[in-house]
Amino acid sequence: MRRIQVVATGGTIASRGGAEGRRATVLAKELVASVGPLPTGAEVSTRDVVTRGSYAFGTADLLTLVREVRGALHDGADGVVMTHGTDTMEETAFLLDLAFDDPRPIVLTGAQRPFDDRAADGPANLGDALAVAADEAARGQGPLLVFDGFAFPARGVRKSDTMSAHAFTAPGRGPALRVVDGRVVPLSQPRPRPRFPLDLDLPDLPRVDVVPVYPGADGLFVRAALDAGAAGVVVAAVGAGNAGPELVEAVAEAVASGHPVLICSRVHSGPVAPLYAGGGTELHRAGAVFADDLSPWQARLLLAAASAVPGRSPEALVRAWLAGEDPPSGS
């Protein structure tokens, strides 16, 4: 018998319509009851942590959710399923990926249509998530996001449609598993995942801001972020990692003052690289770290987590993680 703990946090999957709009009100037991037959050999227990939209979560809330998963694993769960709003599910999945190297399945799911919709997709998604959490093929995969019949590894998963039931993709990576009528089908082998020294008992993570690049963007938002106390900045650059000269100058100032800067792309798919003179090459020369194919939103959490490790260089931790290496010792 596999023990599966469901951790409910609200979101569309738990929402009903009302005069003021959709509101999360459905609790975990009712969500599980909507699924129908549970996976054979699975014993499912439920816990409600919070019941609201994930757009209202801060990083302190995400750490609370990570601790809930830690508690479930500590209590002997063979797998954990978290129901979650889709707006920021990719961030929570990524933070869980940084936090755990436990082989037991950790699965997130949600819905695009509310619980009281006549074509609600939540019950099917939750049923698939339970099937994945109970299946041996999910062990060692790291945290997974299950949606519309596919299970995506946390790193690289992105919400790609605001309304469609096929809401998530993993550009350049693809899903790890597929669920077909309750049967879990492996699509790829688990990838090695480096450890990360994240203290799960932190009350919050340091501030890290995302600064967009667009025609005419200058250094205002980089400097404002640092003035507001940001430990570092993520630049959502254009193309393969480019920005104009005024923003590059602000990045150079930030790095020189000891504030790490990560470069991502505002493009949905593909890695960044310092290829273009006056753009990416200048950012690289200024000391910015190019964050491979991480989205700006996942890169923000990586840099925040690295900045929370006492006595260690955030830049060195980020570079090691991006290279697939365990963290370097010392500062």
- The SS3 call for residue 154 is coil
State the CB neighbour count (10 A cutoff) for residue 87.
17
Write down the catalytic residue from 12, 83, 109, 169: 12
Paired sense of beta strands 208-212 and 23-24, if any: unpaired
SS (H, E, C) 91-126: HHHHHHHHHCCCCCCEEEECCCCCCCCCCCCHHHHH
> Which two tokens mark 96?
């869980």
Let me know: does 141 contact 104? Beta carbons within 8 Å: no
**What is 25-92 written as a DSSP string?**
---HHHHHHTT-SPPTTEEEEEEE---S-GGG--HHHHHHHHHHHHHHHHTT-SEEEEE--STTHHHH
| DSSP single-letter state for residue 14 | G
CA distance 83 to 308: 27
The DSSP element (H or E) to which 203 belongs, if any, is: none
**Alpha-carbon torsion, ordered 296, 293, 241, 162, to 10 deg:** -50
Q: Give catalytic status of residue 51 as yes or no.
A: no
Let me know: does 331 contact 313? Beta carbons within 8 Å: yes
**What is 292-308 written as a DSSP string?**
TT--HHHHHHHHHHHHT
Nearest residue to 301 via CA among 229, 184, 196: 196
CA distance 74 to 41: 21
Give me the active site residues, please: 12
